[in-house]
């Protein structure tokens, strides 16, 4: 009997200990399940007042928009008025910033601005609380695609390979420097005629590979030249051909040219016993430098300097009644033409 009594008391003590343990676990679980107490709204909001921001009116508007005077203790709100008068607030949850907003100042009265700031804070607080209690959405399982093995298609079901089509031809438009240029210039002539005078030049520049081929006309207006006791009025007309090399920039072109010019002087004497008219051949090698500056894509201002070295020099001669040479005036050994005008580039 003694042994049985002792065994019964041991079982009773074990059951009591088990009951106490279960009761403690239930109390702890209940303590963990109980939500933390809310705190007054005024404790969770910090306001740095300014010209429009006042703490008490702002808290009153915020309580009105929230519909309650308490807030989750994890929520912190900091409201301030920046140096330029713009209101700004930051809503934090558990120490981490959740929402931040800055408002324009001066657009509305202070009372309306405080109400708008309070409404934005209330919306941010409710959004932060809602995010804290929502469970994350379940992740949809990835569907498994059964392995069907290789698929064999009959020959007639295979797609036919089409022959590759050649790319469409693109119309080639010539670059600006590949286009023909026509120019016309007024000239100041020195040494080309017996006296300094005026003239004109016109021609075409045709691109040909790395060079440009030039062909044109040269004319000198009549000038008076003293020959002995009389004078002669001399004009000229000639043709020019040559080749040019060009260096181009964004809107300017520098061009060096070399070629030949050939034509004639037309002279008419005055003040002699017998005044006559005559034509004298003239030919020269030419070397020139020119430039153009674009005014529009098709029109440019052009200028040139051209040197002439005559190889067939006209000579003005006056004979006496017996046929002997009395006076003579040969052409200058070199001449210069300064030109200025316009050019047109053909499309």
Q: What is the pLDDT of residues 197-242, one digit of tens each?
A: 999 999 998 888 778 899 999 999 988 888 877 788 889 999 999 9
Listed by start position, the domains of the chain span 39-130, 176-345
Among candidate residues 209, 212, 202, 216, the one with its CA nearest the CA of residue 180: 212
Mutual angle of helices 55-66 and 110-133, in 10-degree steps: 50
- pTM, 2 dp: 0.48
Alpha-carbon Rg for the chain, nearest whole angstrom, is 53
Question: Concatenated DSSP letters for 224-279?
Answer: EEEETTEEEEEEEEEEEEEEEEEEE-SSEEEEEEEEEEEEEEEEEEESSSS--EEE
Dihedral sign computed on CA atoms, order 130, 136, 138, 139: positive
Task: Name the fold adopted by 176-345.
Answer: Porin (2.40.160)
Question: Concatenated DSSP letters for 1-17?
Answer: -HHHHHHHHHHHHHHHH
C-alpha dist (Å) from residue 342 to 106, 202, 213? 61, 10, 18
pLDDT at position 231 is 84
Dihedral sign computed on CA atoms, order 38, 39, 40, 45: negative
Task: Flag residues of the chain having pLDDT under 70.
Answer: 1-36, 147-149, 151-153, 155-159, 163, 169-177, 273, 347
Dihedral sign computed on CA atoms, order 39, 43, 47, 53: positive
pLDDT at position 262 is 94
Q: Which two tokens stand for residue 226?
A: 């003293």
C-alpha dist (Å) from residue 278 to 34, 232, 264? 129, 10, 10
Letter string b/e over residues 114-127, b meaning 16 or more CB atoms within 10 A of that residue's CB? bbbbbebbbebbee
Distance from C-alpha of 3 to C-alpha of 21, rounded to nearest angstrom? 28
Report the CATH architecture of 39-130.
Answer: 2-Layer Sandwich (3.30)
pLDDT at position 218 is 93
Q: Which two tokens stand for residue 144?
A: 């498994």
Q: Which two tokens stand for residue 234?
A: 């001399």
pLDDT at position 27 is 45
Q: Kindly report the CA angle at 343 between 340 and 345, in degrees rounded to 5? A: 165
How many Cα atoms occupy the beta-carbon half-sphere of 215 within 13 Å?
3
pLDDT at position 106 is 72
């Amino acid at each position: 009997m003694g042994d049985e009594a002792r065994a019964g008391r041991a079982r009773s003590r074990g059951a009591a200990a088990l009951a106490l343990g279960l009761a403690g676990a239930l109390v702890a679980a209940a303590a963990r399940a109980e939500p933390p107490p809310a705190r007054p709204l005024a404790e969770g909001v910090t306001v740095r007042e300014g010209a429009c921001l006042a703490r008490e009116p702002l808290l009153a508007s915020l309580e009105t928009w929230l519909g309650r005077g308490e807030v989750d203790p994890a929520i912190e709100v900091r409201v301030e008025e920046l140096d330029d008068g713009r209101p700004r607030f930051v809503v934090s949850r558990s120490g981490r910033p959740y929402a931040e907003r800055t408002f324009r100042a001066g657009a509305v009265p202070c009372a309306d601005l405080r109400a708008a700031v309070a409404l934005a804070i209330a919306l941010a607080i409710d959004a932060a609380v809602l995010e804290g209690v929502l469970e994350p959405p379940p992740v949809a399982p990835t569907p498994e695609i059964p392995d069907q093995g290789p698929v064999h298609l009959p020959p007639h079901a295979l797609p036919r390979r089409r022959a590759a089509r050649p790319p469409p031809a693109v119309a080639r438009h010539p670059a600006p420097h590949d286009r023909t240029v026509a120019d016309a210039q007024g000239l100041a002539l020195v040494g080309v005629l017996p006296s300094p005078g005026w003239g004109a030049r016109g021609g075409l520049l045709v691109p040909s590979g790395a060079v440009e081929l030039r062909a044109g006309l040269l004319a000198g207006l009549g000038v008076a030249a003293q020959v002995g006791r009389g004078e002669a009025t001399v004009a000229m007309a000639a043709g020019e051909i040559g080749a040019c090399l060009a260096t181009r920039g964004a809107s300017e072109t520098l061009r060096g040219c070399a070629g030949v010019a050939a034509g004639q002087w037309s002279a008419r004497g005055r003040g002699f016993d017998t005044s006559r008219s005559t034509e004298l051949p003239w030919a020269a090698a030419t070397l020139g430098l020119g430039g153009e500056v674009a005014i529009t894509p098709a029109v440019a201002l052009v200028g040139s300097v051209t040197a002439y070295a005559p190889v067939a020099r006209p000579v003005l001669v006056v004979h006496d009644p017996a046929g002997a040479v009395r006076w003579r005036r040969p052409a200058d050994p070199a001449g210069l033409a300064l030109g200025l005008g316009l050019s047109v580039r053909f499309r």
